[in-house]
Amino acid sequence: MDLLFILVNIAVLIALIGVLIVMQKKHLTFTKRVFTGLGLGIVLGGLLQAVYGTGSEVLTQTTEWYNIVGRGYVRLLMMIVIPLVMVSIIQAIINLEKTAALGKMAAWIIGILVSTAMVAALIGIGTAVVFDLNADQIEAGQAENDRASMLESTLGEVQGTSTPSKILNFIPSNIFLDMTGERSTSVIAVVIFSMFIGIAVLGLRRKSPEQAEKFTEIINAIYAVVMRIVTLILRLTPFGILALIATTVANTDVAGIMQLGKFVIASYVALFIMFVIHLLLVGVFGLNPMTYLRKVIPVLGFAFTSRSSAGTIPLNIQAQKNALGVDEGTANMSASFGATIGQNGCAGIYPAMLAVMIAPTVGIDPLTPGFIVQLVLIIGISSFGVAGVGGGATFAALIVLSAMNLPVALAGLLISIEALIDMGRTALNVNGAMVSGTLTSRILKKFNIKTFNDKKAIEQDIAL
C-alpha cells in the first residue's frame, strides 16, 4: 500500500512538471514560471505533510524521489560552478587593459561584502534586543541535546583555526583538489588561480603576442561552451524549485516552529531590514531599487529554496551580467567571493543574534558598548571563508561564539527551525553578493545603465 501512495506522489510531481513545461512552450516569462513552481511546491509540500505527517515512511521515501529533481538540479549547478568561475575570471582579466584594475575590483567587492556583514551584525543585535530573545526561554529535547553535543565536539576544530589560517586557506596548494570543490574555500582558491592565469596571459601578450592570442582563442571557445551548458541547466530552474520547496515544506517541523516562533519572526525581521538596507544602497548609487528588485527576484527565489550560495553562483553571474548590467569581470568575482566572504545572513545576522541570546546566560550584558564593538569586529573578521552551502551559518556561529568566550552548545537548541531560517539567510547572502557586484561596477564606471533600465533584460538570457 505504501508503494502505491509513493507512486501517486511521484505522478503528482511529474504532472506539475508537465504544467511548467506547457508554460515554457507558451513562452511565459522565466519569472512567472519560477514563482509558479514555487507556489505549486508549497501547496504540494503542505498537502504531503497534512496527508502523511512529518517523519512517516511514505513521506520519507517520497521526498527521496523528489530529491532526484530538486537536489539533482542543485548538483548540476554545483557541477558547472568551478568551470564557469575559472573560465569567466580568466576571460575577464584577459580583456582588462591594466592589472591594476583587477586589484581595485577585488578591493571594492570584498570591502562592500565585509562592511555590509558588520552592518548586518548590528541589525541582528538590535533585533534580538527588541524581541527580548534569550536562550533560557528555549526548552531542549533529545534532538537539541544531541545537536549541542555535536557542536561542542566540532568546536575544537574551529578553535584551532585562526583568522590568518583561514585566509591562508584561500591560497591553493593543489588546484586539482580545489577543482573538485573539496574544501569550503575551493571557489576562492580557483578564483585566485584563474587570476594568476589571466595576469600571466597579459604579460605574455607583451612578449609573445602570437601565443597569447592562441590561448585567448581557446579560452573564448571554452567559455562559449561553458555558457551554453549554463543556459541548458538554468532552463531547469522552475522544476528544481518545485521539487526543492515541496520537499522542504513537507519535512518542516511545525511543532518546532511554533515553539521557537519568536526567534523565527525576529530572524526574518532582521533579514528584511538588511534587505531594505541593500535596496537603499542601490538607490544611493543612483539606481532604481524596484528595478533592481524585479530583476534579482528569480535568483533570490532559487537561493531561498536551495539554501546554497555556491549553487546559486551560475544564476547570480547570469543575472548580474544580463539583467543588471554589471560588467563580466565584476559579476564573476562578486558572485564567487560572495559565496564565502561577508555573508550578511549566515555570517552577520545569525551569529550576532545568538551571541546576544546566549550572553545573559553566563552573566554578560550584551548591551555594553565593549561587547557590541567586540562582537561586530569579530563578525567582520570571521566572515571570511564561511562555506556557501547549508551549514555555513553554524560554522560562522561557532567561530564567533568561541571568540567571544560564549558557550556554543546553546546554538543546538535551534535545530528544529534551522532549515526555515537558513532559507532566508541564503537569499540575503546572495543578494549581498549581487549588491556588491552592482555597486563595484557602478563605482568603477563599468556599469551598463541601459541594460539595467531595459525591462526585457530580466530573463531573456537567464533561462531561454
Which tens digit of pLDDT belongs to each residue from 46-55?
Answer: 898 888 887 7
Strand partners, 384: 341
Grid cell listed for 251: 519535512
Strand partners, 341: 384
The CA-CA-CA angle for residues 347, 351, 356, to 5°, reads 150
**Domains of the chain: which residue ranges?**
2-458
Q: Highest mean pLDDT range out of 97-106, 189-198, 251-260, 429-438?
A: 429-438
Are 311 and 78 spatial neighbours (Cβ–Cβ below 8 Å)? yes
pLDDT, residue 272, reads: 96
For residue 40, pLDDT beyond 80: yes
Looking at the chain, the whole-number percentage of residues with pLDDT higher than 70 is 84
Grid cell listed for 127: 533585533
Helices (H), 235-260: 237-250, 254-259
Helices (H), 326-417: 328-338, 350-358, 369-382, 392-403
| Mean pLDDT in residue range 283-310 | 89
408-452 pLDDT, tens digit per residue, is 666 655 655 677 788 899 999 999 999 999 999 999 999 999 999
**Nearest CA-CA partner of 363 in 85, 135, 123, 24:** 135
pTM of the model as a whole:
0.79
Measured distance CA(330)–CA(255) in Å, rounded: 44
pLDDT, residue 248, reads: 83
Say which residue the cell 555594553 belongs to: 368
- DSSP H/E element including 460: none
Grid cell listed for 397: 556561529
Count the neighbouring beta carbons within 10 Å of the beta carbon of residue 65.
15
Are 190 and 182 spatial neighbours (Cβ–Cβ below 8 Å)? no
The CA-CA-CA angle for residues 426, 158, 388, to 5°, reads 20
118-164 pLDDT, tens digit per residue, is 999 999 999 999 998 887 655 544 444 444 444 444 445 555 556 67
The single-letter DSSP state of residue 139 is: P
Distance in Å from the first CA to the final CA of the chain: 41
Name the architecture of domain 2-458: Orthogonal Bundle (1.10)
How many alpha carbons lie under 13 Å from residue 412 in its C-beta half-sphere? 19
Say which residue the cell 533529545 belongs to: 142
